[in-house]
A and B are shown apart, each in its own frame.
Chain A
Amino acid sequence: MADKQTKIRTKTQGNDTDVLVLVSHPMESGLRPDPKDKDKKVPAHFIEKMIFALNGKEVANADLGPAVSTDPLVGIKLKGAKAGDKLKVTWSDNKGESGSGEATIG
């Protein structure tokens, strides 16, 4: 996806690495009334799955849902990640769209 950005930031302290992922996504729950037509609802559009992979191996996954806010910020804590390791985050939403971002742990 070209228009949806996935930004990643990592911070290592000792053995632990904090990973923060920010995705530009509308995260429509499907319950909000359409501002133009009150009888209709804005169709649901939210991230369902987010997968974190370190050097190609899955280390964590998250199930997101309609309760998560617009432009979600998701954080995980990794143990034993080394500097120079490649982290890849991929997400997919209920409309079949997906996106990914990569970062090098430093």
Chain B
Amino acid sequence: MKHVVPLNKKARRIAAQVQESRGQARALTLELPPNEYPFGCTTIFAPGWEVDSSGGTHGLCQPIERDLYDCYHTCYWPAQVPDGVTNAPSWTSSCGAPMNDWKSIDLVFP
């Protein structure tokens, strides 16, 4: 901080916290090649999570049904799909290829 000088104890603590947080948050794209990769569905570009230009899902490169597994396999997101780790480990067992037979997936009641 070049324009302010913290004087009392509280100001010194806050300034230290600000400095620390500035050190932590940085854009990964600024480092080439990236030496860290983010993890989790919100940090990757996964087509299929949005709607197409008409507001529907037909034009997407992956059918919307794929979302089920995007949530299920790569990201723990219990609000959208059943929790396949503890409570409903076999909820997709009747469905081999979701793009074709997603209708065979059972309903799961919490």
Co-complex (A, B): no
B residues adjacent to A (C-beta < 8 A): none
